[in-house]
Structure 1
Amino acid sequence: MWGNIVWGHAASTDLIHWIHLPTAMYPDQWYDSNGVWTGSTTKLPDGRLVVLYTGATDDFVQVQNLAYPANLSDPLLIDWVKYPGNPVIEPPQGVRDHDFRDPTTAWLTPQGKWRISIGSKHNRTGIALLYDTEDFKTFELLGQMLHGVSGTGMWECVDFYPVSKTKKVGLDTSENGDDVKHVVKTSLDDDRNDYYALGSYDDSGKWTPDDPKIDVGIGLRYDYGLFYASKTFFDDDKKRRVLWGWIPESDSVGADIKKGWASLQAVPRTVLYDKKTGSNLLQWPVEEIEKLRSKSWEFNHDLEPGCAVPLKVDDASQLDIVVELELDEESVKRANVETEPSDSCQGIGGGSSKRGALGPFGIMVSADKDLFEYTSLYFYISKSSNGDLNTFFCTDLTRSSEARDVLKPIYGSIVPVLKGEKLTMRILVIFFVFVSNRSR
């Protein structure tokens, strides 16, 4: 229900441990009475913070609004003030009232103006509009769009940021130069997945994808599981770019009401440019996750086809698992050519229970001793007639739960594994125990 959406508020010193704070903003004005929606924060050179966010008006028109901290010296930024002149941006001519949302963090242009992008669509073409401002109160719509891709539908939660081609650090959103690539990312309202592409950006506002065949919305995804509406921010303290994402888990409405919550925030990740491939981003859980480790175990096994080797560890509510697998080269040479090479984990057929010439091989987590319930995470390799290998990394949820009212798909994608590299996976397993204090 749009009218019940508000901005939550939490605080953390390490991105892992959180405390609840009072709600930051309620839908209490005519310009956001039906929802305080996605926004982005920009830090100005003098240390001030401004937030642009989407509000849904009394008539469900999507407009962009300005807010700022009431007390910048408050380290928790408890209180926020809405600009009395809101809304600062209304849907432009040719854009439908309900197809105009989710402003990005602003970046500086060489002319000293701040520039933002807002997601929209024109017919079936997803687009990212551009606006310039000097004061975040008055905005100019540019004639040049940041980008658009035919057939992708509405673009939500657009993100735009630079990545370094040469250094293992994150970059401030305003960075540009010869050693920089720019990422355009969108959340597609049609299929509820997050897509990104790498490209080049010039200061006129033009962004060009490196490879149009894997353009935004038709190519690479951040994640092939349940992951949506993500945003990044630049951590100036640790010089890294951090990615947030939403996990829209698939419990039924009845189950959500019973447990008192719905959906999750994913573990934050750092994002870097993949210098080895030049065509991908590298994502990894933030380093703070390692503070949660208390004990460690190491196992080494030679695995025969069809075997399942139990790994005995102490009872734990959280596990951080790193698996390295090496293929026997002679087995790879002897492997039969796939008669029908697949282009997806779903297309392999049978998921983790379907045996092929080279796979599946991986790990089963959250498994009971009888293997009635488990979640499989595995590699699968297809071999073409010319000897080329395609490596898939897949997750099979078909046996992950006895519940019949949740989604249990098989998903994943091709992952680039270069010559000499091991097949490596890292798995964070988190068990949730919820205690309700509601009266019955």
Structure 2
Amino acid sequence: MHWAHSVSHDLINWTHLQPALAPTDPFDMNGCWSGSASILPGNKPIMLYTGRDSEERQVQNLAVPKDLSDPYLKQWVKHSGNPVINLPEGIKPDDFRDPTTVWLEEDGKWRLLVGSQKDKKGIVFVYRSDDFVNWSKFDSPFHEAPGTGIWECPDFFPVLVDGTNGVDTSVVSPRNGVKHVLKVGLLDTFKDYYMIGSYSPEIEEYVPEIEFTFSSLRLDYGCYYAAKSFFDPIKNRRIMMAWVHESDSKADAFVKGWSGVQSFPRSIWLDKNQKQLLQWPIEEIQMLRENEVNIRNKKLESGSLHEIRGITASQADVKISFKLPNLEDAEELDPNLVDPQVICTEYDASKKGKFGPFGILALASEDDDLTEQTPIFFRVFQKNGRLVVVMCSDQSRSSTKTGIDKPIYGAFVDIDPQQEEISLRTLIDHSMVESFGGGGKACITARVYPTLAIGDKARLFAFNYGAESVVISELNAWSLKKAQMKVEEP
């Protein structure tokens, strides 16, 4: 396990350099695993990463650039005194990993978090240092939750309570108008969850407003894991990317010779209700747009399809908003159905309801039966006297291939459809389908592997299979040009 290294001026077009870290030393000879970069005063970057040492223990190591005058920081030097953080007492050798970006406290000491577990209790430990070499663990965990298994790839950052700008990681005081987000990845579920709460640096304690459970908020309700954020000081925003793993067969992955891709970068901020994060593709993606098509105030009758022509359906950016009449007649949702993924599986895209399914059919094949298709859609229900909007991404017919995972994902969208339109933005990039519902209140990323709906043979539709008509108040769609991927020769 190496650290690959790529550079970009715009987070869209990338140049792949030679790996930055390789497993060459006793403290990382069995793998250079996840970690984080941090920027110290004087614009000096450092990296802390998990090494699997010669005795198969997970330890935390430090690396610094060899030449600070190199704008691409191509070469990195490992600290001669590694590891800088050893395995804590009572923790199993392979249950201690993934240091966060550091932050600076008013006492002049740096902090970082490391994920762990003990007896199935998920834990993040907090460490303090004033020189980046000597780290001491605080006596009690920063936060923990029984029965959740190991917490991987933790991320910890402040968010403004009133604004969409990002905040530097070292802004910690509530008097600066911030709350704090603690994100953890659960290996047991392969999902990223997060909490919003308050941080007390005096006692090194994090208190979430809602305690963590398996029903806690997720960054993404699809195939999206090990997310990591950073603060962009140029545009004052916080950006997040994640690992989107494969869901096809091991044999296919072997033939490809690679596995996993990075998600589109997202800007993230706190919703005005202060109860959840909003996520939206970064503005730079618009540089790839071409061939725009528009639709306004188009009624979709029950059972109708409308093909979106004039763009490349296999690489596209699609924004659509729906208006729905007479929602007081929405059907009742079974009160026993509380998991949105179960709801979407029970009411997949082929099941006709009153309001829904309606949305888009991505990566649809050319044949009349649309043998391959990936619907991203909504349904509206009534439950306990209020309207409930469910967003689904259905991969059950996404490919004619066998032996691959074809899940149906689901998420609740926290909007009132009587007060606002139901909106969807979807980015399509061959095997990647990233969807953002309700202005970024619900996100679902899917990996699909069509065999028919590929390249110029893919089609894109807006559809409504519900009993009631819906209106497309506005649709904008663009082809997306291919990003530039360069490889630097050794």
Instruction: Measure the CA separation in 2 of the matches of 1:320 and 1:170.
Output: 24
Q: Percent of pairs identical after alignment?
A: 40
Is the contact made by 1:155 and 1:188 (CA closer than 8 Å) also made in structure 2? yes
Q: Distance in 1 between matches of 2:230 and 2:63?
A: 18
Tell me which residue corresponds to 1:181.
Answer: 179
Please say which of residues 285-294 and 309-318 is displaced more in the overlay: 309-318
Does the C-alpha gap of structure 1 residues 339 and 163 become closer, same or farther in structure 2, counting only changes over 3 Å? Answer: closer
Higher fraction of strand: 2
> Are 1:408 and 2:410 matched, yes or no?
no
Cα displacement (A) at 1:112: 0.3
Partner of 2:252: 255
Asked whether the 8 Å contact 1:32–1:56 carries over to 2, the reply is: yes
Corresponding residue for residue 195 of structure 1 = 193
How far apart are the structure 1 equivalents of 2:182 and 2:335?
34
The answer to whether the 8 Å contact 1:25/1:80 transfers is yes
CA separation of 1:170/1:231 partners in 2, compared to 1, >3 Å: closer, same or farther?
A: same
Corresponding residue of 1:109: 105
Letter in 1 for 2:379: Y
SS in 2 for 1:353: coil
1:262-273 paired onto structure 2 within 5 Å: 262-273=259-270
Tell me by how many angstroms 1:341 deviates: 6.1
Give per-residue Cα distances to partners, 1:31-86, cap 9 Å, x unaligned: 11110001111111121111110000122100000000000110110000000100
Q: Which residue number in structure 1 is paired with residue 318 of structure 2?
A: 321
Distance in 1 (alpha carbons) for counterparts of 2:168 and 2:311: 42
Deviations 1:250-285 (A, max 9, x none): 12121112222211100010110001x221000001
Query: In the alignment, which residue of structure 1 is the partner of 2:295?
Result: 299
Residue 329 of structure 2 is aligned with which of 334, 337, 340?
Answer: 334
CA separation in 2, counterparts of 1:167 and 1:385? 32
Aligned to 2:51: 55
1:94 CA drift (Å) = 1.4
State the alpha-carbon separation in 2 of the partners of residues 202 and 335 from structure 1. Answer: 45
Count how many residue pairs are aligned between Structure 1 and Structure 2. Answer: 424
| Cα distance change of structure 1 residues 295 and 341 upon mapping to structure 2, 3 Å threshold | farther
Secondary structure, aligned partner of 1:9: strand
- Residue 125 of structure 1 deviates from its aligned partner by 1.0
Gapped regions of structure 1 (runs ≥ 5): 435-440
SS at match of 2:292: coil
Amino acid at match of 1:128: V
| Aligned equivalent of 2:374 | 375
2:11 corresponds to: 15
Match of 1:70 among 66, 69, 72: 66
Indicate conservation of the 8 Å contact 2:293/2:311, yes or no. Answer: no
Q: State the shift of 1:340 in Å.
A: 4.9
Deviation at 1:339, TM superposition (A): 4.5
Counterpart of 1:438? Answer: none
> Could you say which residue in structure 2 is the equivalent of 1:424?
423
Equivalent residue for 2:391?
393
1: distance between equivalents of 2:123 and 2:70?
37
Task: Report the Cα distance in structure 2 between the residues aligned to 1:15 and 1:411, rounded to whole angstroms.
Answer: 27
1:437 corresponding residue in structure 2: none
SS in 2 for 1:254: helix
Residue 25 of structure 2 is matched in structure 1 by: 29
Which residue is 2:123 aligned to?
127
Structure 2 runs not aligned, ≥5 long = 432-454, 456-481, 483-490
CA distance in 1, matches of 2:304, 2:184: 41
Tell me, yes or no, if structure 1 residue 156 matches structure 2 residue 162.
no
Whichever residue aligns with residue 35 of structure 1, its letter is: G
State the superposition RMSD in angstroms: 1.6
Do the aligned partners of 1:31 and 1:57 also contact (CA within 8 Å) in 2?
Answer: yes
| Residues 125-177 of structure 1 deviation map (CA, whole Å, 9 limit, x = unaligned) | 10100100011111111013211111111000010000001122100001022
What do residues 307-353 of structure 1 show as CA deviations (whole Å, max 9, x unaligned)?
2222222445521000101111x2x2233333556321323414111
Deviations 1:220-269 (A, max 9, x none): 10001110111101111111111010001212121112222211100010
CA–CA distance in structure 2, aligned partners of residues 342 and 216 of structure 1: 18
SS where residue 328 of structure 2 aligns? helix
TM-score with structure 1 setting the length: 0.93
Match of 1:358 in 2: 355
- Distance, in Å, in 1 between the alignment partners of 2:79 and 2:214 is 34
Residue of structure 1 in register with 2:35 after alignment: 39
Contact 1:185 1:216 in 2 (8 A): no
Distance 1:258 1:216, change over 3 A: same
Tell me which amino acid in the other structure corresponds to 1:318.
Answer: Q
TM-score, normalised by the number of residues in structure 2 = 0.84
In structure 2, relative to structure 1, the CA distance for the partners of 1:80 and 1:217 (3 Å cut) is farther
Verify the 8 A CA contact 1:107 1:115 in the aligned structure 2. Answer: yes
Instruction: Tell me if structure 1 keeps the 8 A contact 2:316–2:428.
Output: yes
Partner of 2:271: 274
